[in-house]
Structure 1
Amino acid sequence: MLDVTRFLLKQGLSFRGHDELSNSLNRGNFLELLQWYSKRNEEVSKVVNQNAPGNNQMISPAIQKDLTRACAYEITLSIIEDIGNNIFSLMVDESRDISVKEQMRVVLRYVNKRGQVIERFLAIVHVSDTSSRSLKDAIDALFVKHGLSLSRLRGQGYDGTSNMRGEFNGLKSLILQENPYASRRRRQVITNLHYYRVEVFYQVVDSVIQEIVFQKLTQNCLVDPNFSGIEDLGSFAQKIVETLKNQAYPLVYRLIEMTLVLPVVTASVERVFSAMKTIKTYLRNIMGDEWMNDSLVVYIEKDIFSTIENEQILQYFQKMKSCKMQLSHLSYLRIT
């Protein structure tokens, strides 16, 4: 069952058929592929379809959705663990799906432990109200669900051509009220003494120190053959991590990291929209929000999905309430 599920999710194909009765000529992709698989693998044939217990066929739509949810969960968990305690940026866009439901797409941008700039799809959330407050509440709920802290947010990116520009500007303001470091500093009422001491003197001292350290790092890198041919900041960051110079110059690397996480364009968010049109089509226009989100997570983050073993997915699946029996280890077999 899991191998069939993995194949359909990876290809962005539908699971259900219009007529899934046993005498139907086309019972849908999931049942038809499972039938095809069992005919070519005798061990699988012994435990599925007519050879499975009548009340434990494990082929119901609920089981299909639970398997998909388990796949999406493991992918999202991998993303959250990859971010760790690092800072990140938030990229958001909104559009209607084929069933005219408002969907908010959320992508995170961060620098991973290898110094690589990564953009990952976190979730798509249905919002019945597109006001800035409702969008903010949806993001708060999403962050709580995945254990993300708004305090580590360092940038915000929104589609500037969207007809939601006003709402997005309001959303940005609401986030800045909680975290002034999420793209700009919050204006404060301060005294002249505080201004010249903190805003001028301390900043000048910090700038001088940072410039000295940065010059030392630059000179160090110029004589290092590992840094020859570096043409952009992203490649520079990766080399710094590879050569462990990020440990020798942590503050400088932190500045580079903060620069790299700032969103420049929202192309990744636009790609989510293209994927949504593949997953939720005219013929699948009644699919639920959670079902669509889980399918999108797997379809978009295929590179992560390919690294996740069946064992991980099945362990989470077994904990779900709807699971009444344990899947056989035959489920670990891959389609060849």
Structure 2
Amino acid sequence: MENAHSVLMAIFTTLRFLCRQGLSFRGHEDVSSNFIQLLELRKEDVPDLKEWMGLSSYKWLLHDIQNEIIDSLGKLVLLSEVCEMKKREHFAIMVEETCDISIHGQVTFCIQSVVGNLTIREDFVGLYETPNTEGKNTFWYLEGHSCGHFLL
């Protein structure tokens, strides 16, 4: 279990690094992807990773698993930002409606707050497709998805 934890932490930190740098995860072939190449490099520092990389099945490196980890990391960042925003005395939640090229309703969700010496900070939370953009329906929709339930 300790080996698996060590490897999982290496995978999480590798994905976090690629996200922060805005680098691609996948290439034309998985072997040449930034993710795999960075894990290959990290094998020297994380001995447990060397053993795991030698296994024949790479289920823990599948694209779906990477996407799930990235989604979880994004939710942690959002939760952290919302917790910081709740500590501030003045803030506003902005939800604006727009349509994409295929006429699907979408809402943008931003948080604006006052920090420090009356500096305004605006954080873009996300762009969400919604079936209906009426106020009560938009609130209900956001409440049940990745951003809204952090605010309540």
With the length of structure 1 as denominator, give the TM-score of the two structures.
0.34
Provide the C-alpha distance between the structure 1 equivalents of 2:61 and 2:94, rounded to a whole number of angstroms: 38
CA distance in 1, matches of 2:34, 2:60: 15
- Consecutive unaligned residues in structure 2, runs of 5 or more: 1-10
CA RMSD of aligned residues (A): 3.4
Matched residues, number? 137
Shift of 1:69: 1.7
Name the CA distance, whole Å, in 2 between partners of 1:136 and 1:102. Answer: 15
Which structure 1 residue ranges, 4+ long, deviate > 4 Å from structure 2?
Answer: 54-57, 99-103, 112-116
Alignment match, 2:113: 110
Q: Which has the larger radius of gyration?
A: 1
Paired residues for 1:85-164 under 5 Å: 86=89, 87-92=91-96, 94=98, 96=100, 103-112=106-115, 116-127=119-130, 129=131, 132-133=133-134, 137-144=137-144, 145-148=148-151
The separation in 2 between residues aligned to 1:113 and 1:47, in whole angstroms, is 48
> Could you tell me how far apart the structure 2 residues matched to 1:105 and 1:8 are?
25
Instruction: Report the residue type matching 1:41 in the other structure.
Output: D
Alignment of 1:24-103 (within 5 A): 26=32, 28-38=33-43, 40-41=44-45, 43=47, 45-50=49-54, 52=55, 54=56, 58-84=60-86, 86=89, 87-92=91-96, 94=98, 96=100, 103=106
Alpha-carbon distance in structure 1 between the residues aligned to 2:46 and 2:151: 46
Higher relative contact order (CA closer than 8 Å, sequence separation 6+): 1
Q: Where do residues 1-336 of structure 1 align in structure 2 (5 Å cutoff)?
A: 1-20=11-30, 26=32, 28-38=33-43, 40-41=44-45, 43=47, 45-50=49-54, 52=55, 54=56, 58-84=60-86, 86=89, 87-92=91-96, 94=98, 96=100, 103-112=106-115, 116-127=119-130, 129=131, 132-133=133-134, 137-144=137-144, 145-148=148-151
Contact 2:94 2:111 in 1 (8 A): yes
Cα distance change of structure 1 residues 126 and 29 upon mapping to structure 2, 3 Å threshold? farther
Query: Which secondary structure state, in structure 1, belongs to the residue aligned with residue 61 of structure 2?
Result: coil
> Is the alpha carbon distance of 1:89 and 1:42 closer, same or farther for their aligned partners in structure 2, counting shifts above 3 Å?
closer
What amino acid maps onto 1:142 in structure 2? Answer: L
**Aligned-partner Cα distance in 2 for 1:76–1:9:** 15
Q: Distance in 2 between matches of 1:36 and 1:101?
A: 43
Structure 2 SS opposite 1:74: helix
List runs of 5+ in structure 1 lacking aligned partners.
Answer: 150-336
| TM norm structure 2 | 0.66
Q: Percent identity?
A: 21
